């Protein structure tokens, strides 16, 4: 079942429940290593990246079991960290185990996390920050060895608000001796959620949700019960699927308080958007109006929704400009969309102009990464005729069941 077959031309209608956030769940699962106890994580998404993280935790000695409403991680017994090659290279977000394992064991060896389709994904900001906390890194044969004979607090300023580096610094700082002051921290909601989880386990963190964090390290942590919020990127994906097909949908449980920049773009596209305690209701125009978007760190427009808004504007009624400022190679879907009749001009390495066309036709496409793959499915929903999207395991990394969700909204979609 590595492909998705779509019979397009149907406006999405109905309601769909938004599952728990991948990018909140992954650092929290890593953080369970710091509590030496049972953690009950409710609303944990059942996606491939979470399964891969669970395998890594089990490989380190954790006991993990799924309940109907979430997952229990018992990290009482954890041995020194050695993470196997395929698990790490296949999933970059294992990088957030770096800070957690240094906090728990004081050392680890892992495959050097490589880049991916969307960019080189360096980790220099992670390494320079952790060195200030007493960590020594060596590299040999593509493996990264980290040792902290004494992990201690530090004053750290990030030159760029890296999400992953912020997470690793917080995770190491919670276990380190003394206080860590972090300036220039990422503001993404997933950072606040991680801090709230750690605080529920007894961590003392000041400034959570701001760009200046103070972590008072060295406190013994205990297990807790914590609920993962809904995934703002999944909600945005389905929102722009609705905008691209001229439909109207209710995104149940969608975290509207984390989606201001996204909802602003949807309204500029001509969408009628209203929020209630049920979630976000959006009514799309027949064809979206053109917009000008530049991806930015939070609270700006998220890079993870750039591909899906690009797809939605392919049938727009004007010229939309999109600039990608976070990753260096996040326009790979342009060639696939052009196969469907899209008219997209590459202005330079980090910006495109989408000239909306009246109709798209189905084609055989290939997903190469998570969010681009989801965007190709949306393009298939918008096109006349049949579209096949191959390489769908990429999509299953971040969406519990994108076919089921789109079928609930009336789409003719099957996995094949």
Compute how many residues bind ligand EPZ; rule: CB under 6 A.
Answer: 24
User: In sequence order, what DSSP letters do the residues of 224-292 get, joined into one string?
Assistant: -EEEPPB-HHHHHHHHHHHHHHT-EEEEET--GGG-HHHHHHHHHTT-EEEEETTEEEEE--SSPPP-E
Phi, psi of 184 (to 5 degrees): 80, 25
Confirm or reject binding of residue 326 to ligand EPZ (CB under 6 A). yes
The token pair at 368 is 């190469």
| Cis geometry, peptide bond prior to residue 259 (ω within 30 degrees of 0) | no
Q: How many CA atoms lie within 13 A of 204 on its CB side?
A: 10
Answer for which of 125, 213, 259, 305 binds ligand EPZ (CB under 6 A) is: 125
Give me the least distance between CB of 121 and ligand EPZ, in Å please.
5
Residues 356, 311: Cα–Cα separation, whole Å: 10
Minimum distance between the CB of residue 69 and ligand EPZ, rounded to whole angstroms?
A: 23
Residue 139 Cα distances to 101, 109, 110, 164, angstroms: 17, 9, 10, 20
Is 116 annotated in the active site? yes
For residues 323 and 295, the answer to whether their CB atoms sit within 8 Å is: yes
The correct pick among 35, 44, 98, 165 for binding ligand EPZ (CB under 6 A) is 165
Nearer to ligand EPZ, 74 or 405 (CB): 405
User: Segment contacting ligand EPZ (CB under 6 A): 2-10, 160-168, 256-264, 347-355?
Assistant: 160-168
Nearer to ligand EPZ, 64 or 127 (CB): 127
* Range in contact with ligand EPZ (rule: CB under 6 A) among 20-28, 238-246, 283-291, 386-394: 20-28
Question: Parallel, antiparallel, or unpaired for β 107-111 and 81-82?
Answer: parallel
DSSP output for 172-211: HHHHSBSEEEEES----HHHHHHHHHHHHTT-EEESTTSS
How far is residue 96's CA from residue 381's CA, in Å, rounded to a whole number?
35
Among 398, 405, 411, 413, binds ligand EPZ (CB under 6 A): 398
Residue 228 touches ligand EPZ, criterion: CB under 6 A: no
Polymer length of the chain:
416
Those residues with Cβ within 8 angstroms of residue 273's Cβ, 6 or more apart along the chain or in another chain: 263, 266, 267, 280, 281, 282, 283
Nearer of residues 26 and 198 to ligand EPZ, judged by Cβ: 26
Using the contact rule CB under 6 A, the part of the chain among 97-105, 147-155, 162-170, 335-343 near ligand EPZ is: 162-170
Helix, strand or coil, per DSSP, at residue 103: helix
Q: Which is nearer to ligand EPZ, 22 or 287 (CB)?
A: 22
Residue nearest to ligand EPZ (CB): 164
- DSSP track, 350-385: TEEEEE--S--B--EEE--SHHHHHHHHHHHHHSBS
Indicate whether 231 belongs to the interface with ligand EPZ (CB under 6 A).
Answer: no
Question: Does 160 contact ligand EPZ by CB under 6 A?
Answer: yes
- Residue span binding ligand EPZ (CB under 6 A) among the ranges 157-165, 276-284, 352-360, 402-410: 157-165
Q: Nearest distance from residue 234's CB to ligand EPZ, in Å?
A: 10
Select the residue interacting with ligand EPZ from 20, 70, 164, 380 (CB under 6 A). Answer: 164
Q: Which of 62, 63, 96, 116 is catalytic?
A: 116
402 contacts ligand EPZ (rule: CB under 6 A): no
Please report, as residue ranges, which positions from 266 to 325 form the binding site for ligand EPZ (by CB under 6 A): 303-304
* 3 state SS of 128: helix
Question: How far is Cα 123 from Cα 130, in angstroms, rounded to an integer?
Answer: 11
Is residue 43 within the footprint of ligand EPZ (CB under 6 A)?
no
Q: State the binding string over 355-384 for ligand EPZ (x if CB under 6 A, else -).
A: ---------------xx-------------
Active site (catalytic) residues: 116
Can you give the binding site for ligand EPZ, defined by CB under 6 A?
22-23, 26, 93, 119, 121-126, 160, 162-165, 188, 303-304, 326-327, 370-371, 398
């Amino acid at each position: 079942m590595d492909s998705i077959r779509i019979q397009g031309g149907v406006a999405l209608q109905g309601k769909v429940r938004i599952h728990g956030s991948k990018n909140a769940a992954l650092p929290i699962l890593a953080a369970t290593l710091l509590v030496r106890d049972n953690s009950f994580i409710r609303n944990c998404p059942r996606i491939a990246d979470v399964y891969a993280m669970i395998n890594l935790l089990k490989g380190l000695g954790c006991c993990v079991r799924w309940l109907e409403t979430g997952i229990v991680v018992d990290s009482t017994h954890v041995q020194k960290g050695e993470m196997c090659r395929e698990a790490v290279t296949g999933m970059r977000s294992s990088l957030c185990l770096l800070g957690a394992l240094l906090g728990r064991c004081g050392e680890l060896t892992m495959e050097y996390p490589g880049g991916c389709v969307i960019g080189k994904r360096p980790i220099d900001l992670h390494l320079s920050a952790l060195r200030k906390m007493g960590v020594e890194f060596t590299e040999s044969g593509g493996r990264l060895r980290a040792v902290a004979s004494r992990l201690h607090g530090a004053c750290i300023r990030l030159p760029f608000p890296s999400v992953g580096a912020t997470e690793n610094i917080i995770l190491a700082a919670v276990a380190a001796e003394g206080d860590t002051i972090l300036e220039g921290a990422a503001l993404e909601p997933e950072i606040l959620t991680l801090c709230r989880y750690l605080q529920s386990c007894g961590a003392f963190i000041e400034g959570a949700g701001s760009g200046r964090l103070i972590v008072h390290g060295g406190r013994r942590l205990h297990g807790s019960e914590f609920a993962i919020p809904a995934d703002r990127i999944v909600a945005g994906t389905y929102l722009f699927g609705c905008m691209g097909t001229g439909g109207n949908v209710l995104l149940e449980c969608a975290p509207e308080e984390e989606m201001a920049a996204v909802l602003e773009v949807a309204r500029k596209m001509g969408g009628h958007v209203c929020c209630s305690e049920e979630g976000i209701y959006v009514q799309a125009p027949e064809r979206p109006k053109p917009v000008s978007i530049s991806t930015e760190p939070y609270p700006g427009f998220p890079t993870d929704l750039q591909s899906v808004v690009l797809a939605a504007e392919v049938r727009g009624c004007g010229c939309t400009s999109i600039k990608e400022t976070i990753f260096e190679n996040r326009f790979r879907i342009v060639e696939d969309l052009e196969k469907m009749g899209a008219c997209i001009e590459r202005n330079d390495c980090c910006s495109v102009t989408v000239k909306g066309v009246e109709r798209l036709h189905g084609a055989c496409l290939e997903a190469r990464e998570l969010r681009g793959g989801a965007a190709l499915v949306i393009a298939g929903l918008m096109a006349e005729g049949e579209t096949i999207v191959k390489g769908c395991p990429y999509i299953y990394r971040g969406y519990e069941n994108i076919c089921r969700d789109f079928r609930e909204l009336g789409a003719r979609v099957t996995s094949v």
